[in-house]
Amino acid sequence: MEETSTNNPVRAGSETATTQKLLELVRRFRIEGMPLKVTPIISGHINDSYLVSTIVRAGLEPAPTEYLLQRINHGIFRDIPGLMNNIGIVTGHISQRIQADPAAFGEMRALELVPTVEGDPFYTDPQGNFWRVYHYIPGSLSYDRVPGTDLAYEGGKAFGKFQVLSAGIDPGTLTITIPRFHDITWRLEQFEDALHSDLMHRVAHVPDEIHCIRERAQEMHTINQLIESSLLPTRVTHNDTKFNNILFNQKNTAICIVDLDTVMPGTVLYDFGDAIRTGTNTADEDESNLEKVSLDMGLFEAYSRGFLETAGTSLTQIELDHLAFSARFMTYIIGLRFLTDYLNGDTYYMIHRTGHNLQRARCQFKLLSEMEKQTEIMERIIETSVA
């Protein structure tokens, strides 16, 4: 029988931050007003995030200023100064480019860090945890599931603009915050190690999922092969382009790309693919009823059109030719990583229930099989959007 396990050592090792402690932490940053309330934000699988509201003076109405406090997971990100330096480079560059050509970038803006009182980009607490604060964009919204094609189109334009905006940064100046992050060879090695160790005695429960991985492993080396043959340009890429990493305003105009921890040298295929994985799924990433999981072709068409309208002319033919494949690739590799973490006892991704990572993996594999059935249509849509 499956054991009951909700252990999550990356997180369990660190004490739960109390409200008092969090308020004290916020005061170490150059914020306006007095921090009043700290609310955990349950989104994202890696860092701990809190919304901080402030008041101007005790007893008055809350000031409009709000902040995002985050503890950066240093079990996963091993070079926090390098990571924060990347964020400084990327946000600085993007905001300069927007200011230089506001007409081209509409209402887009860059994330803004709040320095510590000493002027540093992050604070290290006595326990060795790393904290940072961003300005929270008032009234901003994000979507785990995309409610309509207008939003998908707008999201495609937003990640396209991000691609164009970060193109002036020399990828070589960026720290590799997670080495070999989307390297399928490495991810498959980790998976085989997990199967071999079978630490939690879970391997016997997932024969279908193992089959799904192995059957497709060869094809999934395509991007690595193109990189090794120098056929794909190295670009500054986001590498975690979940649709909910786009912030929208109340009018549903995209205004900001967030979650910059994995901005690194990469290929545009990672960014297009992950946005399709998350932005066209008719269900949540961890939906337990797999019948609900499929690819919404209307959303795919709208996202692709938005993305290619803004970034299309900067892409090479080989990149364009592999955009449809990239959606399958990212769905596969993220499913593979969820499954590997399940087999290893849920040490990487934050889970909210037993079997959560397995559910996430199954959902990715269902989505992948839906994409496979619709490959030709996806390819045709991309060709048409480019033309």
Binding site for Mg ion (CB under 5 A): 240, 259
**Cα 365 from Cα 101, distance rounded (Å):** 42
Three-state DSSP class for 66? strand
H or E segment and range at residue 83: helix 80-100
What residues pair up with 265 in beta bridges, in sequence order? Answer: 236
> Which residue, 40 or 233, is less far from Mg ion as judged by CB?
40
What is the closest distance, in whole angstroms, from the C-beta atom of residue 32 to ligand GN1 in the complex? 28
Counting contacts by CB under 6 A, is residue 46 touching ligand GN1?
yes
| Least distance CB 218 / ligand GN1 (angstroms) | 23
User: Site residues for ligand GN1, window 241-270 (CB under 6 A)?
Assistant: 242, 259, 262
Q: Residue number with the shortest CB distance to ligand GN1? A: 46
368 binding ligand GN1? (CB under 6 A): no
The answer to whether residue 334 forms part of the interface with ligand GN1 (CB under 6 A) is: yes
Token pair of 375 as six digits: 């490959």
Residue 37 has a CB neighbour count (10 Å cut-off) of 15
Closest CA to 326 of 245, 259, 267, 282: 267
- Residue 45 sits in the site that holds ligand GN1 (CB under 6 A): yes
Q: Which listed option, ligand GN1, Mg ion, none, makes contact with residue 86 (CB within 5 to 8 Å by class)?
A: none
Considering the rule CB under 6 A, would residue 212 count as an interface residue with ligand GN1? no
Instruction: Give the pair of three-digit tokens for residue 77.
Output: 């990100």
Binding pattern for the stretch 5-44 against ligand GN1, x by CB under 6 A and - elsewhere: ---------------------------------------x
Give the shortest CB-279-to-ligand GN1 separation in angstroms.
Answer: 12
Report, in angstroms and rounded to the nearest whole number, the Rg of the chain calculated over CA atoms. Answer: 21
CB of 259 to ligand GN1, least distance (A): 5
E strand or H helix at 49, and its extent? strand 48-55
Query: For residue 67, what is the DSSP state?
Result: E
Selection from Mg ion, ligand GN1, none that 152 binds (CB < 5 to 8 A by kind) is none
- For 244: left if phi > 0, alpha if psi spans -120 to 50, otherwise beta; the answer is alpha
Nearer to Mg ion, 140 or 149 (CB): 140
Nearer to ligand GN1, 31 or 46 (CB): 46
Residue 317: how many other CB atoms lie within 10 Å: 8
Q: Which does 341 bind (CB under 5 to 8 A by kind): Mg ion, ligand GN1, none?
A: none
Q: Of 66 and 259, which CB lies nearer to Mg ion in the complex structure?
A: 259
How far apart, in whole angstroms, are the C-alpha atoms of residue 207 and residue 91? 44
With CB under 5 to 8 Å by kind, the binding choice for 285 among Mg ion, ligand GN1, none is: ligand GN1
Interface residues for ligand GN1 in 66-125 (CB under 6 A)? 76
Q: Contact, 82 vs 263, CB < 8 A?
A: no
Contacts of 149 (CB under 8 A, 6+ apart): 298, 299, 301, 302
The residues of the shown chain that bind ligand GN1, judged by CB under 6 A, are 44-46, 76, 240, 242, 259, 262, 285, 334
